[in-house]
Amino acid sequence: MIEVNAPVTMSDVARAAGVSTATVSRVVNGHYGVSARTVAQVRSAIEQLGYESSLVATSLRRSRTNVLGLVAHSFQSYTAEVLKGVMKALSRSGFDLIIYANSDLYGSYSEGWEQRHLTRLSGTLTDGCIVVTPWGDIRSRTPVVAIDPVRGSTAPSVVSDNLAGATTAVEHLLGLGHRRIGFIAGRDSLASAWSREEGYRAALAAAGVPVDPTLIGRGDFNPESATPLARVLLQRPDPPSAIFAASDGMALKVLEVARELGFSVPGDLSVVGFDNIPESASTQPSLTTVDQSMYQLGYEAARMLKSLVTGEWDEPSQIVLPTSLVVRDSTAPPKSAARP
């Protein structure tokens, strides 16, 4: 959930570390006379609270900067497509964009990364921020719009109709004749991950197919998380005839593992993803997936944020965008359903 609260102060850090504000100041400014143990305590508190001394100490500005921020944990294909939409919405708007992301290409996912970035940006460098797939509670003094928020968030947000998209994906596999359908889930703190799993379960239930918990792998949307899960599913004595992955990045890893283990796609295994990133069309075989228009997610988030900053937003606080199934070469009827 994203909440608007006061910024973290040096006094907050001092209380969390159990030291004086003067000690925190000495640590922040690199002065001598502080024990290594105390330095470690203070640095730990700074990391946990997301404190940024140079910006928090700056007095609150009285005028807008006409700069918006985008905060993301990494710049994989999903975020890159979102960014294209953001930049289009800001074109000729009078707003500039500043981007903050983890330096790790795949995202280290360290706790509090969003808060650290927002503390740097909100109220000092930017008038508001877009946060892409946040990991937890966030405090901000300026408007924030979440793309793909955590469960229970009441912050302004832009999402895809994840439930409908997942349901359609599994219905496609069922329609081809698949009954043993594996699922690799996303990070469970995100509302989208829950909705996609709900769609998977709902489609099976509607078809009268019992959900087999052993065919569900718990990923986190990081593509690498799908590799061991795909191995477990495909090395079973009774592997599934199809796998639905909650993101294209994870689905592409399923394709890699299938090739390594000697599975033909779609002959032995059908695979469906979710996102429709550019790589899904260029991989071999091309990936059947759910298009959630990442470009439009970014565009609508930027449009909402601009209006929140200027006080002109009078629409619902959540925008839900439609999804559509894109059928390509990675799905086909299972061998057991093929006609002689």
Work out whether the CA dihedral 272, 276, 282, 288 comes out positive or negative.
Answer: positive
What is the per-residue pLDDT for 339?
40
Q: Are 313 and 176 in contact (CB under 8 A)?
A: no
Report residue 160's pLDDT band, with 50, 70 and 90 as the boundaries: very high
> 240 and 272, same structural domain?
yes
Cis status, amide bond into 285, omega within 30 of 0: yes
Based on the domain organization, do 97 and 142 belong to the same domain? yes
- In this predicted structure, what is the pLDDT of residue 30? 60
| H helix runs in the chain, sequence order | 10-17, 21-28, 36-49, 53-56, 77-90, 113-121, 162-176, 191-206, 226-234, 248-260, 278-282, 294-310
What's residue 121's pLDDT?
A: 77
pLDDT average, residue stretch 135-151: 83
The CATH number linked to 29 is: 1.10.260.40
The verdict on 187 and 213 lying in the same domain is yes
The answer to whether residue 81 sits within a structural domain is yes
What pLDDT does residue 133 have?
86
Does 278 share its domain with 300? no
* Total number of domains constituting the chain: 3
Between 299 and 311, name the one with better pLDDT: 299
pLDDT at 59: 32
Whether residue 3 lies inside any domain: the answer is: no
202 & 248 share domain: yes
Q: Closest Cα to residue 1, out of 191, 215, 210, 226?
A: 191
Same domain, 180 and 285: yes
The β-bridge partners of 185 are 218
Q: So what's the pLDDT on residue 107?
A: 45
Asked whether residue 244 is domain-assigned, the answer is yes
Q: For residues 16-32, give the mean pLDDT.
A: 80
Asked whether residue 331 is domain-assigned, the answer is no
Q: In the chain, pLDDT over 90 holds for what percent of residues?
A: 60
Q: What CATH number is attached to the domain comprising 100? A: 3.40.50.2300
Mention every residue, 6+ apart, whose C-beta is less than 8 A from residue 311. none
In a domain, 115, yes or no: yes
Q: Residue 142 is part of which domain span?
A: 67-159+294-320
Instruction: For residues 278 and 311, state if they share a domain.
Output: no
Extract the tokens encoding 224.
Answer: 């690498």
Flag whether 59 is in a domain: no
pLDDT of residue 56: 39
Structure token pair of residue 86 = 């953001």
Strand partners, 147: 132, 158
Q: Are residues 14 and 82 part of one domain?
A: no
pLDDT number for residue 193: 96
Residue 1 lies in a domain: no
Q: At 69, list the tokens.
A: 């921020």
The pTM for the full model equals 0.78
Q: How confident is the model at residue 105 (pLDDT cuts 50, 70, 90)?
A: very low
In a domain, 5, yes or no: no
Do residues 177 and 191 both lie within one domain?
Answer: yes
Cα(180)–Cα(238) distance, integer angstroms? 9
Torsion of CA 121, 122, 128, 134, to 10 degrees: 80
Residues 80 and 120 in one domain: yes
Residues 131 and 212 in one domain: no
Claim to verify: residue 77 and residue 34 sit in the same structural domain: no
Tokens of 116: 């650290």
Q: What is the pLDDT of residue 275?
A: 97
Helix (H) or strand (E) holding 158: strand 157-160
pLDDT at 86: 97
* pLDDT category of residue 106 using cuts at 50, 70 and 90: very low
